[in-house]
Structure 1
């Protein structure tokens, strides 16, 4: 019953342009994005759905923009008919001067529609409040939706799609500052517009399958620096969560809101963190009526990534007075991780079975990250010099080792505050253990108190936003405005 089944490929956080000048890793993001497009064509989907951060930079380089535009023109334009019927008002969903979904534009032949929201990396900013996604959208290559014009009045209107007897309402909310959006939800300033009942409606929700795309923090990073799942309307059937990079592709049931959450994760590792080590996937989603099923599809072009932890003081035979033995131990450990990376890669290649026949690939240089706890009097090593011996085997030779010391957690909160207070008296000659407990905020507060000054030139929120725009978005007039 394919005429009544909507087939979508779900992906997010492609970060094209990440480390594009790196001679080894510079093409990783674009190569995997191309794989995702080819998978969409291979599985004959009705549309590719992206949940933000197609680009890594707010102002992508010409190289990145050219690469993405080339891929979209090569693989997404053609004579293949699109089976999704747009039944909502395109002037509301796509409020530009063309006001239409790209595959219904008589001047463009689109064979693979792409629906996407923007993320925090490629969000609208600057004069005209434009995003890189707007350039692709106005060129007819993607359908960019989910934009908001006012943080204190967030209106979310769905893109309404129909295929046979299946009706899909696709909601999208492009990335906003978590604290602002959190406050908007609490103050009931987020409005969700529901579609009229479908012609064949037999249920209370009008027989629409409601899907929501969001690109915000899912994990709390502070009291309001995330969006709790229960903020999302309980009329949803499925929530596709972007921004979080660890792959949690299997649908997770939220019993309070009674919807499923799918977190595809990033398609390229942009940090050497634990969450990025999980095997990366995209999802093939099939929707029929009010039911859906999801099949996870592993990405093949992702670079292998192995991470491990080691505590030097717990290793037999290692002493702080013999740095050569410590370096030899760490070298052996990295070599073991290289073998582990190769074993994992070979096992994943075998899983593909006949799919990989005739397309054998060489083992790519993996990402290796070894966190070294050097508490107990041990010294650090020169990480760049250490990594040089693996430059022909590892993709990140300068970042293999990460040295850190164990924090002291046996002090009460009062004692900890007193210890920090005493530590701030003099930074010069301070023990490194004490420095580990001091943050920049503590130093700034003490300096201002000593000088009898306050941060009253600009409001803290305004200054924070201006500095963020100046540094992250390269808006040179942000502070002046």
Structure 2
């Protein structure tokens, strides 16, 4: 499919530069992965690179990370190569967030040889004054950031229009949004995709998103994901970032009325799970008019990741073990673990590519259940120490998991049982369930949305320092207390008379606060109901208005992500 009208595009996503930068062996893996993507783009002589978000691992990347990425972009992006296609959009429509509302290769002050177009991901999330680390790179001319929206209540997606000979591309993007909010915005028709009045059918239409693809929560009515059926059918291709499992295969596409999903996966493993053990790759797109060809480009320098599970009770269900609190050298579980690790190491050596690092990352999940609960588990640190010259992650080599009988369920506090947790349970699910159950015992002042946003910012790296965490928590509490005080000031005190008894004032205030607490608890019960704002239409807070409650729908069990996707882009923020 080679001609002057064929677009050649290299697609990658989730480069996570700066991941584990301070770790001795794997500290440079993220930069090696990103550089290999850039090298393939140069070798394949592509027209431009398309990234699906999470260029950085931290929303506020370290100075060393910014420096290394700048070096790479300067080496591969700048140059005097001719750009063989035209930018046809109104620049303000797609770069309206920036002072420099122009595509970088049309800027007379810049010399761009390899354009990059990218959306932002959840790790590139906003901090400070609504800025991303990517904003600095856009404004300095190293890349073109598009699909940036700060208000999920009003997302108007205008395309980046590109033309090469007889082939025209309409490139749409939506940078990462909270999955629940984005799903509700689609449900309420708040997402508007601008189309062209003329010859729109002649464009090859691409949408780039960075969201959960399968359901990730059984406690949220939205399932905490972006359903594929919400995406308009006029798209030819959806580039799906955020999911780290590489799903790139050689294929050819002809327009059929159904978008094709391309999931590049990540270029570096940020957690030790089945998804990350799939070999990494980029995708080479060749687009001519409304036809497309995809070729898989393996990333040959990516470090091997091997994941396996050793269920001791399945391996030997008839073992006889005397209950003890003391480990001995002869215990059978340790022998089985070493045997399994040996097999994994041999597999790694057999499949290691010529350009892959010598030391793989390995994770063995060891499950203790049945009679194996009668003995204390192995100490992961001691096991890992024996393999420190053979694996890149000796301290993370073993993960111990217990499956206890029903009568031995442990409680997290607030009524949340460990045995009820699934691999799809998120920290936000735990927060919601904890607040819901504790509210029944008197905790009801804090609104869920504020606390959930605070947890999200801390987990995603937006809030990193201890002082920042304290200030953020104080601000959430202060904002909500101000909300209460504003409502109390709006109470109708005149009906109490000129000199009302203190008891009557207290009664009126207590009633109003009680109603507000009920509202918070209702909000917790209904995941789809937004927290009431200060400028609510509820003018009379002591009126006898009844509030109808929307029944919260559960995600069908059949739609929950399968067991094979055990860890979902949680990264090492939550790994042991």
TM-score, scaled relative to structure 2: 0.72
Q: Measure how far apart 1:209 and its partner are.
A: 0.4
Residue in 2 aligned with 1:233?
Answer: 232
Call closer, same or farther: CA 1:362–1:85 in 2, change over 3 Å: closer
> Equivalents in 2 of 1:56, 1:257: separation in Å?
36
Q: Residues 210 and 237 of structure 1 are in contact (CA less than 8 Å); yes or no, is this contact kept in structure 2? A: yes
Query: Hey, what does 2:280 align to over in structure 1?
Result: 280
| Larger displacement relative to structure 2 (59-68 or 369-378) | 369-378
Change (3 A) 1:460 1:444: closer
User: Matched residues in 2 for 1:206 and 1:165: separation?
Assistant: 13
CA distance in 2, matches of 1:191, 1:73: 36
Q: Superposed, which structure 2 residues align to 1:31-110 within 5 Å?
A: 31-95=32-96, 96-110=98-112
> CA 1:406/1:7 → structure 2, altered by over 3 Å: closer, same or farther?
same
Match of 1:14 in 2: 15
Alignment match, 2:311: 311
Shift of 1:396: 1.1
1:374: how far off?
Answer: 1.1
- Correspondence for 1:259: 259
Q: CA deviation at 1:92?
A: 1.4
1:373 to 344, 352, 367: 367
Q: Is the 8 A contact 2:236 2:255 kept in 1?
A: no
Q: Is the 1:158–1:195 Cα contact (8 Å) retained in structure 2? A: no
Confirm whether residue 401 of structure 1 aligns to residue 395 of structure 2: no
Deviations 1:162-219 (A, max 9, x none): 001100000011000000001100000000001243xxx4xxx330000010000001
5+ long unaligned stretches in structure 1: 350-360, 409-415, 428-433
Query: What secondary structure, in the 3-state scheme, does the structure 1 residue paired with 2:371 have?
Result: coil
Q: Give 1:82-481 correspondences, 5 Å limit.
A: 82-95=83-96, 96-127=98-129, 129-197=130-198, 201=199, 205-222=200-217, 223-224=221-222, 225-250=224-249, 258-316=258-316, 320-321=321-322, 324-346=331-353, 349=354, 361=355, 363-378=357-372, 379-406=376-403, 435-437=418-420, 447-449=438-440, 452-457=441-446, 459-470=447-458, 472=460, 473-474=462-463, 476=468, 477-479=471-473, 480=475
**Residues 435 and 229 of structure 1, relative CA distance in 2, 3 Å threshold:** closer
Distance in 1 between the 2:252 and 2:389 partners? 41
The CA deviation at 1:461 is 1.1
CA contact (8 A) 1:58 1:121 kept: yes
Deviations 1:44-91 (A, max 9, x none): 000000000000000000011111111000111011011120001111
CA distance in 1, matches of 2:79, 2:310: 53
Are the counterparts in 2 of residues 212 and 238 from structure 1 also a CA contact under 8 Å?
yes
SS at match of 1:340: helix
> Any idea what SS the aligned residue of 2:370 has?
coil
Unaligned runs of 5+ in 2: 323-327, 480-576
Partners in 1 of 2:256 and 2:212 — Cα distance? Answer: 19
1:193–1:377 CA distance, 2 compared to 1 (3 A): same
Change (3 A) 1:253 1:215: farther
Partner of 2:517: none
Task: Please tell me whether the aligned partners of residues 252 and 262 of structure 1 are also in contact (alpha carbons under 8 angstroms).
Answer: no
Give the Cα–Cα distance (whole angstroms) in 2 for the partners of residues 401 and 25 of structure 1: 18
TM-score norm. by structure 1 comes to 0.86
What CA distance in whole angstroms lies between the structure 2 residues aligned with 1:170 and 1:157? 9
Please say if residues 312 and 318 of structure 1, whose CA atoms lie closer than 8 Å, have aligned partners that are also in contact.
no
Distance across 1 between alignment mates of 2:132 and 2:167: 32
1:219-256 CA-partner distances (Å, limit 9, x unpaired): 10133110011111111001000001111113699999
Q: Label 1:403 to 1:36 Cα distance change in 2 as closer, same or farther (>3 A).
A: same
Residues 43 and 253 of structure 1: is their aligned pair in 2 closer, same or farther, counting only changes over 3 Å? Answer: closer
Higher relative contact order (CA closer than 8 Å, sequence separation 6+): 2
Are the equivalent residues in 1 in contact too, given 2:435–2:448 (CA < 8 A)?
no
Range with bigger deviation, 112-121 or 316-325: 316-325
Q: Which has the larger radius of gyration?
A: 2
Seen in structure 2, the aligned counterparts of structure 1 residues 303 and 425 have a Cα distance that, compared at 3 Å, is: closer
Q: Secondary structure of 1:118's partner?
A: coil
SS of the residue 1:436 aligns to: helix
User: 1:234 and 1:314, CA in 2 relative to 1: closer, same or farther beyond 3 A?
Assistant: closer
Alignment partners' CA distance in 2, 1:263 and 1:295: 13
Mapped partners of 1:59, 1:314: distance in 2 = 45
Secondary structure (helix, strand or coil) at the match of 1:377 reads helix
Conservation of the 8 A alpha-carbon contact between 1:254 and 1:260: no
State the alpha-carbon separation in 1 of the partners of residues 239 and 14 from structure 2. 12
Distance 1:426 1:219 in 2: 29
**Distance (whole Å) between structure 1 residues aligned to residue 23 and residue 104 of structure 2:** 35
